[in-house]
Structure 1
């Protein structure tokens, strides 16, 4: 699940680019260079962990934490990310100790090197929400030689053709464990409403859902900062997908409800996203993310005027780029998440014929 996300969220534009109009980028194009830590304010430094593919990087943060440091998000367990970490540990962080590693959520670009980094610093604590931690543990252990029948039925239900099915079967099942380093058995749990003392500051835990099940964000109300991870990105809409294990759930509904929760936060926070540049304009961005999905729901309903549709039929109104085999998994998950939302809203009904799910307008 998360590996497919990492493999297919390609390009600075992502699969679903959205307007960043109305946002202010206080650092402009002055992002940290390779091996550099850029000071955002006292006790908060930003760096970019390089990644393969056009997505290029995930943002890492280093926070002063008393005598030690706290690292937020790590990059994948890949030679490129590992070498980048060695460069800053031997360079600007030489002589410092990382005492805690906080991972905002379960995806390999955010949790991939957490285990490696923990062992490097004598079992430094890994800090996560419970659901994200359990998902990492489960997916890293879920290695099967063949694609399960349930997954094949899921692809068939979405309307995949023979070429797409052959590609999915050839790609195999969960390779999540290959994208992360071995995780320790123990972790430190955080949950919504907790207050973490990091250095001399109080950081309030606020969780969101939809992109991942229990994504952790941190707010420092005194210094007006939000560590947003992938919950609020400045230029792309985070992937919100239905997966084979959650066909009766409502990931897009979770995402939209999370947007309304985050709109209760102050609008003047400096947002530190998991990808892209720090920005101001939290409420403007949340509105744009919400409106993007609401418009896409309406577009699917309009498409249904000509008759029932499958998930793959919806690609042409959901996405602004051709959907090839490289992004078919994520596109399918997004389409099904939207169709499920319409079903729950009473705007569409689902019928299965010959193993394919057909959605018709009510």
Structure 2
């Protein structure tokens, strides 16, 4: 997740000024609790949601697999806000470890089933199981083409499979949810809205009756979700997928209370969609300019141009992935060309430069 903030197009309204303390449920709407969990990254939290479901609760997302998060979850069922009602199911918006990392542990711990889209469950399952040398070599080849020097490629080797250590063993069985499907939670209908680009088949949940959108990472209030090109699908165009997905949220009523995975709940999803579209238009122009006027530059060369701050190792991989995603979109649009250098790195050149 990148932390490049930008001003929304039009005012957003934030009805709750302060988040709850880690592990302390807070009611944000009738029958909906906000649960915040810590993350060991620059983006230091994730928002989880508990929706009252008759004689129990439906849980939305899990937090990362860590002893700290497990300890916080252990105290949740006995919290007065849950009224003594048990969990009935777990829905994960997408496979990222802060969202699905404790799916295996929670489903066993609370004796509930996992609900997710097929793309998210399958991607998480594959990445959690593949710790092979072949996976690492695939990553090394990808980042060599991105222009990583040898010291950075050594970091790729050291990093290995960065996903597996951050998740508990995922459930081997799940209940598939699909785009457009209606899920009844507590007598209210919640429609699944699938978005792409940030993740393969990200599931947001919209309840028209309650005026609520659980947006996951697809719509965040002050940052763009990370939209990256990754080694497992090196010829994809994730930014195109993300931008097209935003149209699915643009017509939601402005008074919809949006419950994002990071940041504060807000009103104004159409304004936020417009701001995200404008933001990525600016980033595309910046990426095109970063290609320069000479014989071309690598994606790694361009990271300092698009991220003008110090990046830790974790952020570096997201940053180069975002640069690549914007360059791929420009290439697919016929605005940038790509050529392979003798050392195996790809050089991007702006057409007409």
Look up the SS of the partner of 1:271 in the other structure: strand
2:88 to 94, 99, 118: 99
Gaps of at least 5 residues in structure 1 are 1-8
Look up the match of 1:272.
259
Look up the match of 1:166.
154
Look up the match of 2:60.
72
- Residue 233 of structure 1 deviates from its aligned partner by 0.8
Look up the match of 2:7.
19
Look up the match of 1:6.
none
The answer to whether the 8 Å contact 1:157/1:356 transfers is: yes
Look up the SS of the partner of 1:205 in the other structure: strand
1:287 to 274, 279, 289: 274
Aligned residue pairs, count: 347
* Change in 2 beyond 3 A, CA 1:218/1:341: same
- Residue 326 of structure 1 deviates from its aligned partner by 4.0
Give the whole-Å Cα distance in 1 for the aligned partners of 2:268 and 2:103.
31
- Residue 229 of structure 1 deviates from its aligned partner by 0.5
How does 1:309-324 map onto structure 2 within 5 Å?
A: 309-324=297-312
Deviations 1:149-181 (A, max 9, x none): 32212111111112211222222x214222112
- Residue 193 of structure 1 deviates from its aligned partner by 0.5
* Change in 2 beyond 3 A, CA 1:39/1:326: closer
Look up the SS of the partner of 1:219 in the other structure: strand
Q: Which runs of 4+ in 1 moved over 6 A?
A: none
- Residue 303 of structure 1 deviates from its aligned partner by 2.9
Look up the match of 1:298.
285
How does 1:23-42 map onto structure 2 within 5 Å?
A: 23-29=12-18, 31-42=19-30
- CA-based RMSD of the aligned residues comes to 1.7
Give the whole-Å Cα distance in 1 for the aligned partners of 2:38 and 2:103.
15
- The alignment status of 1:192 with 2:192, answered yes or no, reads no
Q: Which region of structure 1 is more displaced relative to structure 2, 208-217 or 162-171?
A: 162-171
1:112 to 101, 117, 134: 101
Look up the SS of the partner of 1:39 in the other structure: strand
- Residue 305 of structure 1 deviates from its aligned partner by 4.2
* Change in 2 beyond 3 A, CA 1:348/1:129: same
Q: Which region of structure 1 is more displaced relative to structure 2, 258-267 or 56-65?
A: 258-267
Look up the match of 2:322.
334
The answer to whether the 8 Å contact 1:143/1:175 transfers is: no
Gaps of at least 5 residues in structure 2 are none
How does 1:50-69 map onto structure 2 within 5 Å?
A: 50-69=38-57
Give the whole-Å Cα distance in 1 for the aligned partners of 2:239 and 2:204.
19
Scaled by the length of structure 1, the TM-score of the pair is 0.91
